[in-house]
Chain A
Amino acid sequence: MITEVDQALLEKIADLVGKPVGALNIRKDGGCEARQSTEHIKIDPRTDGKEGIDIRILDGTKGEKCYIPVVISKSDYAEMVYNDFYVGENCDVDIVAGCGIHNSGCDEARHDGVHTFHIGKNSRVRYAEKHYGEGDGTGTNIMNPQTVVYLDEGASIQMETVQIRGIDSTKRVTKIVCGKGAEALITERLLTHGKQLAESDMEIVLDGEDAKGRVISRSVAQDESRQVFRPIVVGNDKCFGHVQCDSIIMGSAKIESVPAITANSTEAQLIHEAAIGKIAGDQLLKLQTLGLTEEEAEDRILKGFLA
Chain B
Amino acid sequence: MLELKHISYSVSEAGAEQAILKDVSVTIPDGKLIVFTGPNGGGKTTLAKIIMGLVTPTGGQILYNGQDVTGLSITERARLGISYGFQQPPRFKGITVRDLLTIASGDDKLTKDRCCRYLTQVGLCANDYLDREVDVSLSGGEVKRIEIASLLARGSELMIFDEPEAGIDLWSFARLTETFEAIHRTHKATMIIISHQERIISLADEIIVVGGGELQYRGTADEILPKIMADTTGSCPVMTREEAAK
Pairwise interchain contact A290-B103, C-beta atoms closer than 8 A: yes
The answer, yes or no, to whether A300 is at the interface (CB within 8 Å) is yes
Pairwise interchain contact B93-A288, C-beta atoms closer than 8 A: no
Question: How many A residues face the partner with a CB closer than 8 A?
Answer: 22
Write out the residue numbers on chain A whose beta carbons fall within 8 Å of the beta carbon of B94.
Answer: 218, 303-307
Residue with the greatest number of chain B CB neighbours at <10 A, chosen from A280, A290, A300, A306: A290
Instruction: For residue A268, give the distance in angstroms from its CB to the closest CB of chain B.
Output: 25
Pairwise interchain contact B78-A290, C-beta atoms closer than 8 A: yes
Would A304 and B86 be within 8 Å (CB), given that A285-B74, A289-B52 are in contact? no
Pairwise interchain contact A293-B75, C-beta atoms closer than 8 A: yes
Pairwise interchain contact A292-B92, C-beta atoms closer than 8 A: no
Pairwise interchain contact A285-B54, C-beta atoms closer than 8 A: yes
Write out the residue numbers on chain A whose beta carbons fall within 8 Å of the beta carbon of B104.
Answer: 290
Q: Which residue of chain B lies nearest to A296 when distances are taken between CB atoms in the complex?
A: B75
Pairwise interchain contact A300-B95, C-beta atoms closer than 8 A: yes
Instruction: For residue B88, give the distance in angstroms from its CB to the closest CB of chain A.
Output: 8
Residue with the greatest number of chain A CB neighbours at <10 A, chosen from B73, B74, B84, B106: B74
Write out the residue numbers on chain B whose beta carbons fall within 8 Å of the beta carbon of A280.
Answer: 90
Contact with A along B69-94 (1 / 0, CB 8 A): 00001110011000110100110111
Contact with B along A277-293 (1 / 0, CB 8 A): 00010110111111111
Write out the residue numbers on chain A whose beta carbons fall within 8 Å of the beta carbon of B79.
Answer: 291
Q: Which of B52, B54, B89, B103 contacts A292 (CB 8 A)?
A: B103
Instruction: For residue B112, give the distance in angstroms from its CB to the closest CB of chain A.
Output: 19
Instruction: For residue A68, give the distance in angstroms from its CB to the closest CB of chain B.
Output: 29
Q: Which residue of chain A lies nearest to B73 when distances are taken between CB atoms in the complex?
A: A288
Instruction: For residue A277, give the distance in angstroms from its CB to the closest CB of chain B.
Output: 11
Pairwise interchain contact A305-B93, C-beta atoms closer than 8 A: yes
Pairwise interchain contact B103-A300, C-beta atoms closer than 8 A: yes
Pairwise interchain contact A304-B78, C-beta atoms closer than 8 A: no
| Bound: A293/B73 CA distance, A | 9
Write out the residue numbers on chain A whose beta carbons fall within 8 Å of the beta carbon of B154.
Answer: 290-291
The answer, yes or no, to whether B214 is at the interface (CB within 8 Å) is no
The answer, yes or no, to whether B121 is at the interface (CB within 8 Å) is no
Write out the residue numbers on chain B whose beta carbons fall within 8 Å of the beta carbon of A286.
Answer: 86, 89-90
Q: Which of A282, A300, A305, A307 contacts B86 (CB 8 A)?
A: A282
Pairwise interchain contact A288-B90, C-beta atoms closer than 8 A: no
Instruction: For residue A285, give the distance in angstroms from its CB to the closest CB of chain B.
Output: 6
6 sampled A-B residue pairs with Cβ under 8 A: A218-B94, A282-B86, A285-B90, A292-B103, A304-B92, A304-B94
**For the complex of A and B, 5 pairs with smallest distance between CB atoms:** A304-B94, A304-B95, A288-B74, A282-B90, A291-B78
| Extra contacts besides A289-B83, A303-B94, A304-B99 (6): CB < 8 Å | A218-B94, A288-B74, A291-B78, A291-B106, A292-B75, A305-B94
